[in-house]
Structure 1
């Protein structure tokens, strides 16, 4: 079984509030708690407007990596945000997720081919 910690997600009201306020300590604490709980991956999902999603993902990923070396699951409904977010991760993680919608599967599989990244396929 693979355990993914999903608390760093802007769809969660308390996390959305921390993201909006740029409360890095709140985000880092979530990463620490999930790591201590033994998760295999820490999911990072900004759930913000498209025009700030990538910069927000980078900020969140950087915060998580300051406090843990647990691999990151990059998570967005926008496959290209996930692809770009992979570049900010210090080590391979989990691409969350790949679907058959539009060209998502082709773009995602091209990005993770010949890497050690895993993916969630829907």
Structure 2
């Protein structure tokens, strides 16, 4: 997994190598924009607190068990540092993976 590259005003060989590793990792899909979400039985909404959230980004849930697969959901809100998903009915306890996409500049 690549790491963040220091932002300095003069390139160095080490910085150029770190930049190449980061770009290659991103091109291979290693973008560190995922997480896991536990939903308690009876919840009709759940909020994820994450610094990568911001208005204009998109988010998806990936069911990780049968209970999660049976639930209808939507992204109800995305703001700086949090996103909220709502469910059409309160599920039993279930588990989702989530992924963030986009740069936050979606125009409607």
Same fold (TM over 0.5): no
Computing the radius of gyration over CA atoms, which structure comes out larger, 1 or 2? 2
| Structure number with higher helix proportion | 1
- Which structure has greater strand proportion? 2
- Relative contact order higher in (CA < 8 Å, ≥ 6 apart): 2
